[in-house]
């Protein structure tokens, strides 16, 4: 496959060629989704090394399982594999507990923030406040059970819809909504004091959970 042809391909074509064993096509899919996969793993596990391991294992597994992909959202299909890799890595960590290598937000790690934490027009003081909020959100995420943490990361941080999330974690839509509502309630309690910096779903001002 030539470079020009590769650049012109859409995702469906890339998947088709990758399923036929074209590594160039598969590598283009990796480039498209590696940031998303790593960010989900990092938010869930809060450890760069573990997130890298889970992401690498997920893409190796995705390549091996690619022929089983039968259409639908490729992103959800891939995130299902990432989710399973995260759970596998967390189980391994329980068997060999370690101290996290770096706190989340360390200088050598640049994490993708939710859209509502990004505003290029804000002042340095506002930017500092939002950075503090981002760190607080991650700390609160770490306090959630991993099943709840996973749905918050996918829906509220990465912006997946409920159906994609349900497919990714292989649970019914109702389970996703229930877990998300309970997780948001716990996040609300944890994030008291940040007021207007928070989206409505995390404020303790009488807003109904969405």
Q: Round to whole Å and give the CA distance between 49 and 118.
A: 26
Q: Are 7 and 126 in contact (CB under 8 A)?
A: no
Label residue 83 by pLDDT band (50, 70, 90).
Answer: very high
Domains parsed from the chain with CATH numbers:
9-112 (1.10.1740.10), 113-210 (1.10.10.10)
For residue 112, the number of C-alpha atoms closer than 13 Å in the C-beta half-sphere is: 17
Q: Quote the radius of gyration of the chain (alpha carbons, Å).
A: 18
Position 200 scores a pLDDT of 65
pTM of the model: 0.74
Given a cut of 50, is residue 110 above it in pLDDT?
A: no
Q: Round to whole Å and give the CA distance between 149 and 165.
A: 12
Label residue 97 by pLDDT band (50, 70, 90).
Answer: low
Position 119 scores a pLDDT of 53
Given a cut of 80, is residue 207 above it in pLDDT?
A: no
């Amino acid at each position: 496959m030539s470079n020009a042809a590769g650049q012109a391909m859409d995702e469906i074509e890339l998947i088709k060629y990758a399923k036929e064993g074209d590594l160039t096509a598969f590598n283009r899919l990796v480039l498209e989704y590696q940031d998303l996969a790593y960010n989900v793993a990092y938010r869930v596990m809060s450890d760069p090394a573990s997130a890298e391991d889970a992401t690498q294992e997920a893409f190796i597994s995705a390549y091996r399982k690619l022929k089983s992909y039968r259409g639908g959202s490729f992103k959800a299909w891939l995130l299902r594999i990432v989710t399973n890799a995260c759970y596998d890595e967390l189980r391994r960590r329980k068997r060999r507990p370690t101290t996290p290598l770096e706190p989340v937000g360390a200088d050598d790690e640049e994490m993708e923030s939710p859209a509502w934490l990004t505003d290029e027009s804000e002042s340095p003081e506002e930017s500092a406040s939002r950075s503090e909020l981002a760190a607080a959100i991650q700390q609160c995420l770490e306090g959630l059970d991993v099943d709840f943490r996973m749905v918050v990361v996918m829906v509220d941080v990465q912006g997946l819809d409920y159906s994609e999330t349900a497919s990714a974690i292989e649970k019914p839509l109702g389970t996703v909504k229930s877990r998300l509502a309970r997780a948001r309630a716990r996040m609300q309690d944890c994030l008291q004091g940040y007021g207007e910096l928070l989206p409505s779903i995390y404020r303790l001002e009488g807003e109904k959970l969405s």
